[in-house]
Structure 1
Amino acid sequence: MILITGATGFVGDALVRRLRADDVTRRVVVAVRRGGLSWPDGVLPCQVGDLTPSTDWTNALNGVSAVVHCAARVHVMRDTSADPLEEFRRINVQGTLNLARQAAVAGVRRFVFVSSIKVNGEATQPGRPFKADGVLAPLDAYGVSKMEAEQGLREIGQQTGMEVVIIRPPLVYGPGVKANFAAMMRWLQRGVPLPLGAIRNQRSLVALDNLVDLIVTCLTHPAAANQTFLVSDGEDLSTTQLLQRMGQALGRPARLVPVSPALLKLVAALVGKPAVAQRLCGSLQVDISKTRQLLGWVPPLSVDEGLKSAAEGYLREASV
């Protein structure tokens, strides 16, 4: 039996559906904040409330052999907390380690933690992608909290014998994606001209189905125990290429105007949005060679297949 936290979220919901599709006899426990939600047959909801340092996981962990921990206080653009780092630590570090300690006591064999590439940092230099066992350099409170959670989980694993697997995804996209990725699809669908036709950066992305496939692999693969993995689609794209291929997936040619990245960065700085320019113009590449070699894992979806799936999901929602 598998316990999934964050099961109503973007990744957690897709993981629940994948696990049930793979094996209809498999029992999946989902930790929920409140009751009243409907779930497919074979999915057992357990109301535990919020992820906190004092949450009681006893009922949710009863009979569970593996945990996939997707729940977290996520990265937010405009954090209104008086002390953002402390709040991230309270939920993402203390809340996570509280769950892990109780899982170990309950006899859970493997704990899969969905972390973030922000643990490695925010940007890479050409030809120097992040590596799973490379230097850690988180720059914001969210990334710091994920790094500290990873460190605490490894300590718990060493002390208790519970196997810990850490997965650090970059930007995840797919049906139902929100935020900036959805905004880009909306702009393309409406035919809005975008000043992003001359960007030559390189960024790694991961389709939702690819991330879920790796999580499922890490639940049972013997070589995954006590390892950290990076994940991507296996093909990096510039922002310009991403928009062009996203337009193809939507059936709407991207209307891109070639504007110098230096000018874009200058304008973004003048309007107080330097981070936006960094995401659009900067590079962030991940090396998934360890994931491929140790697990024999290959992303089941290509970039174009992932973009098509995301586009179909967006068009379905837009037609409602």
Structure 2
Amino acid sequence: MRSILLTGATGFVGGALLRRIAKDEIAITVAARREFDGFPSRARVSRISDIGRDTDWGAALRGQDVVVHCAARVHVMKDRSADPLAAFRAVNVVGTLNLARQAAIAGVRRFIFLSSIKVNGEITTLGHPFTADDLPMPQDPYGISKHEAEQGLRDIAAETGLEVVIIRPPLVYGPGVQANFAALLRAVAHGIPLPLGAINNRRSLVALDNLVDLIVTSIAHPAAANHTFLVSDGEDLSTTQLLQRMGQALGRSARLIPVPSKLIELGATLVGKPTLAHRLCGSLQVDIAKTRQILGWQPPLSVDDGLKKAAEGYRREASV
């Protein structure tokens, strides 16, 4: 039996991971600032303060074999911090490395770090996906902080023998997804016309269940130690295809108007939203060949199955 400490259990990914591993015969401790009604009854809660330089993890780490670190200061579209990079570093770099050092001292065997594809960069050339071994090119404070955390974790692994596993997901979707993906689901569900019927990009996505499955695989797989893995559903879609498949999952046709992507990018720039246009019209592909080869891992859910789950989650929330 393994004993796992999980951080970020109230978040989108951490919560799904907790529900998955709570079904297994695994001792699970959740590091949290407070009790939460959604925690399974068999999960032990260890109270911590905010994650940072001075956080004391001693009680939470006692007797643990594996740490799965999902907690982070997450990427936000409109960051109002006076110094966003410093704010991201305080949690995502300093807080993460403090936890990892204390984990190594406590005898933890493996540390799984949920990073981000933003470490690789923001955009790929069509047909030339990111790989796990590419030179990192983070562009924004969030991506920079995740990259610096990765570097620090590798140093700690080399110094202490702590096994570090790094997972870089692209956009994660599933029941309860928020932000732009939820907005697209809502627009398709309500039959709102969208000028996205002629987008010829390619983007990799990962269904929540697929990401959780890879994390679970990485907890025990002996070959996972000290590797960085990219993850996706294994099928890349254009924005147009994604919206069409969303429509199928929702049981209705997406109303798409074929507007050239250059016009969309120009319009978005004029209204001050160039980043949104890049996400809708640009490509971001990832190559998961290394993940498949080393771990023998395949995404258990297809894109269509993942979208069906996301659509079901949207319907449940919309009916409340």
- TM-score range (shorter-chain normalised) is over 0.9
Alignment-derived partner of residue 17 in structure 2:
15
Question: Counterparts of 2:175 and 2:269 in 1: how far apart (Å)?
Answer: 32
Alignment-derived partner of residue 3 in structure 1:
5
Deviation of 1:135 after TM superposition, in Å, equals 1.1
Residue identity opposite 2:131 in structure 1: K
Alignment-derived partner of residue 251 in structure 2:
251
User: SS of the counterpart of 2:164?
Assistant: strand
Question: Counterparts of 1:38 and 1:295 in 2: how far apart (Å)?
Answer: 31
What is the number of residues matched between the two proteins?
318
Alignment-derived partner of residue 230 in structure 1:
230
Residues 96-138 of structure 1 deviation map (CA, whole Å, 9 limit, x = unaligned): 0000000000000000000000000000002210000111000
Residues 51-75 of structure 1 deviation map (CA, whole Å, 9 limit, x = unaligned): 1111000111011100000000000
Deviation of 1:35 after TM superposition, in Å, equals 3.1
User: SS of the counterpart of 2:22?
Assistant: helix
Deviation of 1:37 after TM superposition, in Å, equals 3.9
Answer whether contact 1:66 1:108 (CA < 8 A) is retained.
yes
Question: Counterparts of 2:87 and 2:236 in 1: how far apart (Å)?
Answer: 33
Question: Counterparts of 2:188 and 2:287 in 1: how far apart (Å)?
Answer: 30
Equivalent runs, 1:113-132 vs 2, <5 Å: 113-132=113-132
In angstroms, what is the RMSD of aligned CA positions? 0.8
User: SS of the counterpart of 2:118?
Assistant: helix
Equivalent runs, 1:126-275 vs 2, <5 Å: 126-275=126-275
Per the normalisation by structure 2, the TM-score is: 0.98
Question: Counterparts of 1:12 and 1:36 in 2: how far apart (Å)?
Answer: 13
Alignment-derived partner of residue 40 in structure 2:
40
Alignment-derived partner of residue 278 in structure 1:
278
Per the normalisation by structure 1, the TM-score is: 0.98
Residue identity opposite 2:80 in structure 1: T
User: SS of the counterpart of 1:129?
Assistant: coil
Distance change in 2, residues 1:203/1:38 (3 Å): closer
Question: Counterparts of 2:229 and 2:257 in 1: how far apart (Å)?
Answer: 37
Residue identity opposite 1:255 in structure 2: R
Residues 123-165 of structure 1 deviation map (CA, whole Å, 9 limit, x = unaligned): 0002210000111000000000000000000000110001000
User: SS of the counterpart of 1:243?
Assistant: helix
| Gap runs ≥5 in structure 1 | none
Equivalent runs, 1:82-93 vs 2, <5 Å: 82-93=82-93
Question: Counterparts of 1:15 and 1:199 in 2: how far apart (Å)?
Answer: 33
User: SS of the counterpart of 1:88?
Assistant: helix
Residue identity opposite 1:142 in structure 2: Y
Answer whether contact 1:26 1:42 (CA < 8 A) is retained.
no
Residue identity opposite 1:251 in structure 2: G
Residue identity opposite 1:298 in structure 2: Q
Equivalent runs, 1:66-105 vs 2, <5 Å: 66-105=66-105
User: SS of the counterpart of 1:68?
Assistant: strand
Deviation of 1:38 after TM superposition, in Å, equals 5.0
Residues 78-87 or 145-154, more deviating: 78-87
Alignment-derived partner of residue 312 in structure 1:
312
Deviation of 1:268 after TM superposition, in Å, equals 0.5
Deviation of 1:251 after TM superposition, in Å, equals 0.7
Residues 28-37 or 41-50, more deviating: 28-37
Question: Counterparts of 2:294 and 2:218 in 1: how far apart (Å)?
Answer: 11
Residues 38-47 or 273-282, more deviating: 38-47
Answer whether contact 1:113 1:164 (CA < 8 A) is retained.
yes
Distance change in 2, residues 1:297/1:36 (3 Å): closer
Residues 7-61 of structure 1 deviation map (CA, whole Å, 9 limit, x = unaligned): 000000000111012x1x3211001012354521220111102111110001110
Answer whether contact 1:34 1:49 (CA < 8 A) is retained.
no
Residues 35-44 or 209-218, more deviating: 35-44
Residue identity opposite 2:111 in structure 1: F
Alignment-derived partner of residue 26 in structure 2:
26
User: SS of the counterpart of 1:29?
Assistant: strand
1:51 partnered with 2:51: yes
Answer whether contact 1:2 1:29 (CA < 8 A) is retained.
yes
